[in-house]
Structure 1
Amino acid sequence: MAKVAKRIGAARAGLDRDKLHTVEDAVAFVKANATAKFDETIEVAINLNVDPRHADQMVRGVCSLPNGTGRSVRVAVFAKGAKAEEATKAGAEIVGAEDLMEEIQGGRSDFDKVIATPDMMPLVGRLGKVLGPRGLMPNPKVGTVTMDVTKAIEASKGGAVEFRAEKAGIVHAGVGKASFTEKALNENVKAFLDAIVKAKPSGAKGTYLKKIALSSTMGPGVKIDISEAAAAAPSA
């Protein structure tokens, strides 16, 4: 622990905590200081001026990162018959129906994403208390309740990141790994910011984006200039 604290302290010593950075500068600093013995995840956190307790202020969606997430995603699919066969061919690690429900109720949790065909949702709904807290409940709004299971599996494994505003109005997500090039990370960060901007709910009033910070798993957070970041987003 002492080595970690010392390393983080050294990184913070070279950082002006109050300065607002461009996406490029923030990525360069975070990547340079991600010096842990493992490939750290690069994470973005956005504080939004919304109250998710109100339906018209909920921010939720999915973003397809152009350069992927860098992590291996295990997909579980609830489907039967031809769709179950399709899911297996598309690369899903776990496929089932009632049997899979019972396994999950029994404690199985070796998956990162859950996809279901619409006819399976009454079954999957029984797992709400298990999947909900982990953010794994399939939802048609983010493409995980669908008949096109191949597309959903490919998106999950290819860099699709789901996001949802927490109670305090904060959205966060992993947007790559420290081993990625700066160019790849810049593109991923900007794509995610673009998705958040496009997901602005009808009930959001005033300044939508309040704060943006970028960090690595073990590194300090770097503040990003909101106006610059919004202007640099792909759709801007």
Structure 2
Amino acid sequence: MAKQTKKQQALATKLGDNQQLYPVTDAITLLRDLGTAKFDQTLEVALNLGVDPRHADQMVRGMVSLPAGTGKTVRVAVFAKGDKAAEAAAAGADKVGAEDLMEDMQAGNLDYDRVIATPDMMGVVGRLGKLLGPKGLMPNPKLGTVTPNVTQAVKDAKGGQIEFRVEKQGIIHAGLGKLSFSDADLKTNFDAFVDAIVKAKPSGSKGKYVKKITLSSSMGPGLKIDTTEIAGA
């Protein structure tokens, strides 16, 4: 077995039993205390759910607005014409267009975190399915990214709204903000995110739904959260 460095030994001493369950606020405080990176790390959450997303009635997917924001700059592209294009630009979209935006994306310019479209533009957007789909950027009416209300959609994207989607192994990952946020803001974001997951429980889920929750920082260890304090988990 490789010898532990002094840093690893100190970390192990602070963590103690790696099976320990932590209240959310205690985990946030400990992760901040353990943070040694020279950048503002992200607080990350992973939920292990009692679902098998290979079955349509066990898919967990949706949008949630984090009240304290994400701490990230979100780049938004909007497919719209005329007045709707003007509305999207006024709301703060980074790029607005129609066929010209499609051609720009086909040329490889896909540096966006969210793509929004008005319903009449889906004929154009549909041609980008093979580019946007694998990146999780394809506009979807169920997620509110195909909408005539582009102003609200852009503001939501810029203001802390994130998408969640369960992976094949039944796990959902997300970033909940930066460790420079206050404990209260990170806890508020955590509560909003987990509440959205609980409310999105699919009809096909049987038995325990939220099986495990882990909090970590970008460069830190994973801490298991005590789910008994979470309603509906």
Question: In which range does the TM-score fall when normalised by the shorter chain?
Answer: over 0.9
C-alpha separation between the residues in 1 aligned to 2:166 and 2:41? 23
Change (3 A) 1:22 1:129: same
The aligned runs of 1:26-105 (5 Å cut-off) are 26-105=27-106
1:130, distance to aligned residue in structure 2 (A): 1.3
C-alpha separation between the residues in 2 aligned to 1:55 and 1:39? 38
Contact 1:8 1:219 in 2 (8 A): no
Change (3 A) 1:138 1:121: same
Rg (Cα) greater in structure:
2
Amino acid in the other structure paired with 2:78: V
Q: Which runs of 5+ in 2 are unaligned?
A: none
1:45, distance to aligned residue in structure 2 (A): 0.5
Change (3 A) 1:80 1:91: same
Q: Which runs of 5+ in 1 are unaligned?
A: none
1:230, distance to aligned residue in structure 2 (A): 3.1
C-alpha separation between the residues in 2 aligned to 1:33 and 1:6? 14
Residue of structure 1 in register with 2:155 after alignment? 154
What SS does structure 2 have at the residue aligned with 1:11?
helix
What SS does structure 2 have at the residue aligned with 1:76?
strand
Q: Say whether residues 1:14 and 2:23 are aligned partners.
A: no
Amino acid in the other structure paired with 2:127: R
The aligned runs of 1:1-236 (5 Å cut-off) are 7=7, 10-15=10-15, 16-230=17-231
C-alpha separation between the residues in 1 aligned to 2:6 and 2:78? 44
Amino acid in the other structure paired with 1:218: M
What SS does structure 1 have at the residue aligned with 2:168?
coil
Change (3 A) 1:83 1:54: same
What SS does structure 2 have at the residue aligned with 1:14?
helix
**TM-score w.r.t. structure 1 length?**
0.92
C-alpha separation between the residues in 2 aligned to 1:71 and 1:6? 33
For the aligned residue pairs, the C-alpha RMSD in angstroms reads 1.6
Contact 1:11 1:219 in 2 (8 A): no
C-alpha separation between the residues in 1 aligned to 2:231 and 2:22? 13
1:76, distance to aligned residue in structure 2 (A): 0.4
1:7, distance to aligned residue in structure 2 (A): 4.7
**TM-score w.r.t. structure 2 length?**
0.93
1:111, distance to aligned residue in structure 2 (A): 1.5
1:112, distance to aligned residue in structure 2 (A): 1.2
